[in-house]
Chain A
Amino acid sequence: MPILKASRYRLAVNAEGWCYLAVLVLILLAALIRDINLLLLLFGMLVGPLAFSWAAVVVSLRRVVVERRLPDELAAGEPFDVELHLTNGKRYLNSWAVTVDDRIVRLDGRGAHDAVEGGVLFFRTEPGQTSRGAYRVRLAQRGKYRFGPVTVSSQFPLGLLRRSMGVDDVATVVVLPRLGQMQPGWMQLGAALTHASRHSDRRLGLREGEFLGLREWRSGDSSRWIHWRTTARKGELMVRQFERRQNHDLALLVDLWQPAAPTPAHLERVELAVSMAATLLRETCRQGGGRLWIATAGRQFALFQGAASLALLRDGLERLAVVEADDHQRLGALVAAAHREVPRGARCMLISTRPLAAGSAGAPEGLDHRFADKLMQPIEIVDVGSPQFDRYFQPA
């Protein structure tokens, strides 16, 4: 982590300081006009703390170094701590009441002007020592964020003056999508999908899988599996044994459509769609085996694939973190890409932010039939806006 160094200093008078100064000026005027020595003494007494405040804020920030430490992985909706380390490089003097204020800004178009600030108040840092503090952040939305610049300031001891130094170093991080839990409804959907897929496999002669070995015939075995040569040699019926193919390949098509003027409900659907896709990605990568295709159609069209692994999980979550919805019709391109890239036998799922009723042929309504015909396997459509959605997925 980089050590943040000061780039500029600034001294300002607080609101309380202005009030204090006003009273001070009034007392001085009264003392001079009415020739009252005691008021003059009081004026001196009030100037003293002001001068001390100036010295204190200057000393407190002298030779102070700040370091920020961010967690390796940030997920939306999950609180995390941002550590701030304050090192007092002075030899003899404490740094009193130093505040380190960090600024977090979202770097996409939706939240560019909104920022949240977090900070730590280090009430006393001994000379040559490092104080450690942390502020807790919970970012509700995925996306790319910028941490910084940091402002280090002190108003010690009376809060009349504020001396601050800006630190321009910033860190850009990607906040991963919010993850949830797949529900039992999703498991049933998966089983139905597998059954349909088997039927299709059988029709295509792909059902048996890889040859494993030979064994004696048992009741119910298909006559097609009988290995006649061995049967003849051994004098008893022997059948071929196959390793059942567990096809874990999955294609996730995420249709991030929203109207030109989205309502909060539309925005929520987009986030739910991304969250579900991210959760499925996590589940698949944890189980391992198979390949994964994820195609997203929003403001930009994106497709990535790979073997289910932790590397793909990280990469996929980061890609999902920055996808944005749009009002353009890119569903056709999505299906076309799926046809082009996704092999036969892979489970195919379309998560959409809009209602798409399934047709008799399993093709979603509203799809261009030229593309629908190209789909070689059934596709399950999940509409995040439908009432049944809760049966499949529950956000965290």
Chain B
Amino acid sequence: MRLELVLQIAIALMCALSAILLSMGERQPLLGVVAAMMSACAVYFNDLHGWVRLRTKGENVACLIAVAIALFDLWRFGADSQLLAAANLLVYLQFVLLFQQKTLRRYWMLALLSLMQVAVAAALGLDLSFGLVLFGYLLLSLGTLSLFFAHREISRYSPQAAGEGLPAAANWRLNRRSGLRSGVLNFTQPPGASAISSSTVGVDEPVSWRYGRLVSLMSVSALALAFVLFFLIPRFEKSPWPRARTTTASIVGIPETVSLREVGRIYENPEAVMRVSFRDSQNRIYELREPPLFRGFHLTVYDDNRWRETTEPNPVSMSIEELTGATNHIFQELEVRPTDNEVLFHAGWPVQLTSQSELLVDFARERILRPHRDINQYRKYALATTSFENGRQSRFTPVTRPPRDAYALLPYLHVPRSLTRLPDIAAEAAAGIDPDDKLALIKAVNDYLVDPERFAYSLQSSRRDPSMDAVEDFLVNNRQGHCEYFASAMTLMLRSLNIPARMAIGYKGDEYNALGYFYQVRQLHAHAWVEAYLTFDELPASLRSRGGEWAGGAWYTVDPSPISRVDEIHATTAMQFLTLWQLADYARYLWSGYVMGMDAQRQRSLYEFPLVAAKNLADRKFWINLPGEAEDFIWGDGGPAVNGWFNRRVALAAVLMAIATAIAGQLLWRRIRGRWRRTAAGRASTAPPPRAETLLFRRLESILARRDFHRPHGQTPLEYATAARGHLARSPATRTVANLPRGVVDSFYRLRFAGQGLDKDELHLLEQSLARLEAAIAAGDNPAGAQQA
């Protein structure tokens, strides 16, 4: 009964988890919640109490309703999502089965339905969280199937033990060839019937820890084999069939307009947007000393509290390398998750696109565009740029197409007339600065805005004066706001100072994962900053001396926001939590790169790895250099630090300590277990089995004890027998057996002290004597019984 209860709970959990996986795939959390509730209700109301149970009619009606709902789903979702409708039908049928009387067949059907749901969910799922739940499902389903197997076998061999509660006739099994179902042979007629009842040895084993350990071992083995198969099954270079299309993937992105009138707190969405890693031209990790800015697009026109872009798009497909000819590259590898924006956010202006990128360039709007907005899976892009120097992102970006004349810069100098106070504030900020020194003016305005005495960074919305422009209100009345307010204010202030400026929109790479050497860009990292145009003459002398690409001037990047939000998070978050956060990101990186993104190319590179390793091992130089490299690895700089203290050396020490602790623990456990077993065995062996004469005498004592005649401490057996004779002689019922104790004690003495054995007849007589004594005492206690006897 206990086994079946555990099985019922396990199967309900399995069904709930599969529905949750499906809901994750479909992005419909409600389905998972409902499934979990239904499973819990089924266990309580159906399995435990039987209060709610579908009979045949109810089952049929429920199935019809399920099919009807599925058809409605099909109509609602359309032909593109037939899979979702079919998957939902699986869930509905599962609900029906959950509320029926559980039989072996229904258990198996539930397991199959659950498995099919997971198969559909796997076709829809993307995230690491899905993968983790999938692993959990694997563990649970294997445990459940093992329990089901155990329950099935025990039901076959010991229906009572399995709690089947079958009628007695069904407990007898019969060979199929007899063709009978009643469990009796047809050649036997009353009285009685030939039958067999089988049995089980170790009914409780399936719910023991040992069984659980075995199932765990099976799960781990299955997981290991799963990964081996996953990496070994060859992928198509180009799939002969169209790729799966899903309409349920969640997408992220930034809108191409910025409105400063929106109220409410900015929601910090931690959803990942992309992952960016930097490498130099020699394919080494390129570490940055400050957070990079990933620019997407810029906004030029400001009116009615909104920033927008008016330039018409004009994308062209061509290689930037042809235009610039730059060779000193820093490569950035961008792994972008599904997004609703065709703009590719990147650091610095790209000078080279790899052949696989297939990107478009919109020179008019200075954007890199993705030709396919694939919303199904992660896409990878590789760009090269010269915008990094000495680990810092250059603030100057050369203008790819210089303005033809001054009129071309007019949009970047436009300030709405409604902003009457802004020019004064700008002038105040630039007071005392040479108007011709544009860089100094820009820095002065920046210093004005980042001054914490004047302005404060806040994600909370503040009450704005509706009669004023939002930017002017920010500058005059409510001097707190988020990055868009600071960038807007600075852009317009620079324009009022006759410096062409625009607002750039993108992400700030505040989250560096030192384990995976990549920047994790999230939606909450969305940022706005300012780009100011400087002519060639206004550039620093170091750039002017380079000439070439700088001849048309440059856009100067300046970020007036006083503090980033991630910095706030860092300030308040425990360092350990941040490490875990980074670990999770790294796991996501591996998941998306090596599981979701596994393709023929990556598979080839994985195959190459062991070949290269084997080649290295066969190389004599490797062994010569090994001690030095090992020494450098152990005593070197320890690699990049995470949170200031956790680096490669610490990790190595931690791993070694963990291994040592595990070995020591294992040895200690074996020692303790061995000692415990020896003690238990010794305890068992030091207590020899009682000898025959002792057993005889003990039995005599136990028989006489029923008459409350006990042997006092110190009384010899002979004295005891003599006293017993007197005691028994007093009662008429036991008078005839009064001498029997003496005979037993005589035999006891013969065995114990004379060392004489008793032959078979003597033992038999002795047994008979004790039986007579016992019967006489019982008859004395129960006179009615005695008469009957």
Q: Which residues of A contact B (CB under 8 A)?
A: 16, 19, 23, 26-27, 30, 32-49, 51-52, 56, 76-77, 96-97, 99, 103-104, 106, 110-111, 113-124, 131-141, 155-159, 178, 264, 267-268, 271, 395-396
Residues of B within 8 A of A132 (CB): 201
B123 and A38: CB pair below 8 A? Answer: yes
Residues of A within 8 A of B150 (CB): 97, 123
Partner of B192, one of A16, A123, A138: A138
Considering the chains assembled together, what is the distance between the CA atoms of A231 and B609 in angstroms? 131
Known A-B contacts A36-B122, A96-B214; the reply to A118 vs B228 at CB < 8 A is no
Q: For the complex of A and B, list the 6 residue pairs with the smallest distance between their C-beta atoms, beginning with the closest.
A: A48-B222, A44-B226, A123-B202, A118-B196, A140-B188, A44-B229
Q: State whether the Cβ of B236 lies closer than 8 Å to any Cβ in chain A.
A: yes
Main secondary structure of the interface of A (DSSP, over half): mixed
A271 and B189: CB pair below 8 A? Answer: yes
A140 and B233: CB pair below 8 A? Answer: no
B149 and A159: CB pair below 8 A? Answer: yes
Considering the chains assembled together, what is the distance between the CA atoms of A41 and B135 in angstroms? 10
> What per-residue 1/0 map shows which CB atoms of B182-216 lie under 8 Å from chain A?
00111111111111111111110110001000110
B142 and A38: CB pair below 8 A? Answer: no
Q: State whether the Cβ of B622 lies closer than 8 Å to any Cβ in chain A.
A: no
The 15 sampled A-B contact pairs (Cβ below 8 Å) are: A23-B115, A41-B226, A41-B227, A44-B225, A52-B222, A56-B218, A113-B177, A116-B185, A123-B153, A135-B198, A136-B199, A137-B194, A140-B194, A155-B149, A264-B189
Considering the chains assembled together, what is the distance between the CA atoms of A103 and B177 in angstroms? 12
Considering the chains assembled together, what is the distance between the CA atoms of A121 and B230 in angstroms? 37
Partner of A120, one of B131, B148, B157, B242: B157
B202 and A138: CB pair below 8 A? Answer: no
Partner of B201, one of A115, A123, A140: A123
> What per-residue 1/0 map shows which CB atoms of B29-70 lie under 8 Å from chain A?
000000000000000000000000000000000000000000
Q: State whether the Cβ of B169 lies closer than 8 Å to any Cβ in chain A.
A: no
Partner of B218, one of A32, A41, A52, A134: A52
Nearest Cβ distance between residue A31 and chain B, in whole angstroms? 8
Residues of A within 8 A of B214 (CB): 96, 157
Residues of A within 8 A of B177 (CB): 113-115
Considering the chains assembled together, what is the distance between the CA atoms of A97 and B147 in angstroms? 12
Residue of A nearest to B242 (CB): A34
A45 and B112: CB pair below 8 A? Answer: no
Residues of B within 8 A of A36 (CB): 122-123, 244
Known A-B contacts A116-B195, A140-B185; the reply to A37 vs B225 at CB < 8 A is no
Nearest Cβ distance between residue A304 and chain B, in whole angstroms? 26
Considering the chains assembled together, what is the distance between the CA atoms of A118 and B196 in angstroms? 6
Nearest Cβ distance between residue A92 and chain B, in whole angstroms? 14
B200 and A133: CB pair below 8 A? Answer: yes
> What per-residue 1/0 map shows which CB atoms of B738-751 lie under 8 Å from chain A?
00000000000000
- Counting chain A CB atoms within 10 Å of each CB, the highest count among B153, B192, B243 belongs to B192
Considering the chains assembled together, what is the distance between the CA atoms of A390 and B603 in angstroms? 87
Q: State whether the Cβ of B536 lies closer than 8 Å to any Cβ in chain A.
A: no
Residues of A within 8 A of B196 (CB): 104, 116-118, 135-138
Residues of B within 8 A of A268 (CB): 189-190
Nearest Cβ distance between residue A117 and chain B, in whole angstroms? 5
Known A-B contacts A16-B108, A77-B192; the reply to A48 vs B157 at CB < 8 A is no
Q: State whether the Cβ of B239 lies closer than 8 Å to any Cβ in chain A.
A: yes
Known A-B contacts A48-B222, A111-B187; the reply to A157 vs B215 at CB < 8 A is yes
A52 and B191: CB pair below 8 A? Answer: no
B201 and A131: CB pair below 8 A? Answer: yes
Residue of A nearest to B239 (CB): A35
Known A-B contacts A16-B108, A34-B243, A104-B196; the reply to A121 vs B157 at CB < 8 A is yes
Considering the chains assembled together, what is the distance between the CA atoms of A34 and B239 in angstroms? 8
A115 and B119: CB pair below 8 A? Answer: no
Known A-B contacts A103-B175, A123-B203; the reply to A141 vs B187 at CB < 8 A is yes
Residue of B nearest to A131 (CB): B201
Partner of B186, one of A34, A104, A114, A119: A114
A121 and B244: CB pair below 8 A? Answer: no
Residues of A within 8 A of B251 (CB): none
Nearest Cβ distance between residue A146 and chain B, in whole angstroms? 13
Considering the chains assembled together, what is the distance between the CA atoms of A41 and B596 in angstroms? 10
B153 and A39: CB pair below 8 A? Answer: no
A47 and B187: CB pair below 8 A? Answer: no
Residue of B nearest to A22 (CB): B112
Considering the chains assembled together, what is the distance between the CA atoms of A45 and B123 in angstroms? 15
Residues of A within 8 A of B175 (CB): 103, 114-117
B230 and A77: CB pair below 8 A? Answer: no
Considering the chains assembled together, what is the distance between the CA atoms of A136 and B154 in angstroms? 16
Chain B stretch 124-149: residues in CB contact (< 8 A) with chain A: 125-126, 130-131, 134, 138, 142, 145-146, 148-149
Nearest Cβ distance between residue B646 and chain A, in whole angstroms? 30
Residue of B nearest to A35 (CB): B239
Q: Which residues of B contact A (CB under 8 A)?
A: 108, 112, 115-116, 118-119, 122-123, 125-126, 130-131, 134, 138, 142, 145-146, 148-150, 152-154, 156-158, 172-175, 177-178, 184-203, 205-206, 210, 214-215, 218, 221-230, 233, 235-236, 239, 241-244, 595-598
Considering the chains assembled together, what is the distance between the CA atoms of A146 and B528 in angstroms? 90
Residues of B within 8 A of A45 (CB): 134, 138, 222-223, 226
A158 and B149: CB pair below 8 A? Answer: yes
- Counting chain B CB atoms within 10 Å of each CB, the highest count among A99, A103, A132, A157 belongs to A157
Nearest Cβ distance between residue B573 and chain A, in whole angstroms? 32
Considering the chains assembled together, what is the distance between the CA atoms of A18 and B291 in angstroms? 56
A135 and B123: CB pair below 8 A? Answer: no
Partner of B223, one of A48, A111, A264, A267: A48
Considering the chains assembled together, what is the distance between the CA atoms of A99 and B206 in angstroms? 15
Given contacts A35-B243, A36-B122, A120-B200, 8 further A-B contacts (CB under 8 A): A44-B226, A52-B222, A116-B178, A117-B175, A122-B202, A140-B189, A155-B149, A264-B189
Residues of B within 8 A of A47 (CB): 222, 225-226, 229
Considering the chains assembled together, what is the distance between the CA atoms of A27 and B121 in angstroms? 11
Nearest Cβ distance between residue B155 and chain A, in whole angstroms? 10
Considering the chains assembled together, what is the distance between the CA atoms of A138 and B125 in angstroms? 57
Residues of A within 8 A of B149 (CB): 97, 155-159
Partner of B229, one of A23, A43, A137: A43
Residues of A within 8 A of B152 (CB): 159
Residues of A within 8 A of B187 (CB): 106, 110-111, 114, 141, 267
B596 and A48: CB pair below 8 A? Answer: no
B189 and A267: CB pair below 8 A? Answer: yes
Residues of A within 8 A of B242 (CB): 34
Residue of A nearest to B145 (CB): A158
- Counting chain A CB atoms within 10 Å of each CB, the highest count among B122, B123, B145, B189 belongs to B122
Nearest Cβ distance between residue A298 and chain B, in whole angstroms? 16
Residues of A within 8 A of B197 (CB): 118, 135-136
A115 and B178: CB pair below 8 A? Answer: yes
Considering the chains assembled together, what is the distance between the CA atoms of A140 and B183 in angstroms? 13
Known A-B contacts A106-B187, A110-B187, A267-B189; the reply to A37 vs B595 at CB < 8 A is yes
B119 and A39: CB pair below 8 A? Answer: yes
Partner of A52, one of B108, B148, B221: B221
B108 and A123: CB pair below 8 A? Answer: no
- Counting chain A CB atoms within 10 Å of each CB, the highest count among B118, B174, B187 belongs to B187
A120 and B185: CB pair below 8 A? Answer: no
Nearest Cβ distance between residue A50 and chain B, in whole angstroms? 9
Considering the chains assembled together, what is the distance between the CA atoms of A52 and B214 in angstroms? 11
- Counting chain A CB atoms within 10 Å of each CB, the highest count among B130, B154, B175 belongs to B175
Nearest Cβ distance between residue A124 and chain B, in whole angstroms? 5
Known A-B contacts A35-B236, A158-B146; the reply to A121 vs B154 at CB < 8 A is yes
B119 and A121: CB pair below 8 A? Answer: no
Known A-B contacts A113-B177, A116-B196; the reply to A34 vs B241 at CB < 8 A is yes
Nearest Cβ distance between residue B44 and chain A, in whole angstroms? 28
Residue of B nearest to A101 (CB): B198
B188 and A123: CB pair below 8 A? Answer: no
B198 and A118: CB pair below 8 A? Answer: yes
Residue of A nearest to B144 (CB): A158
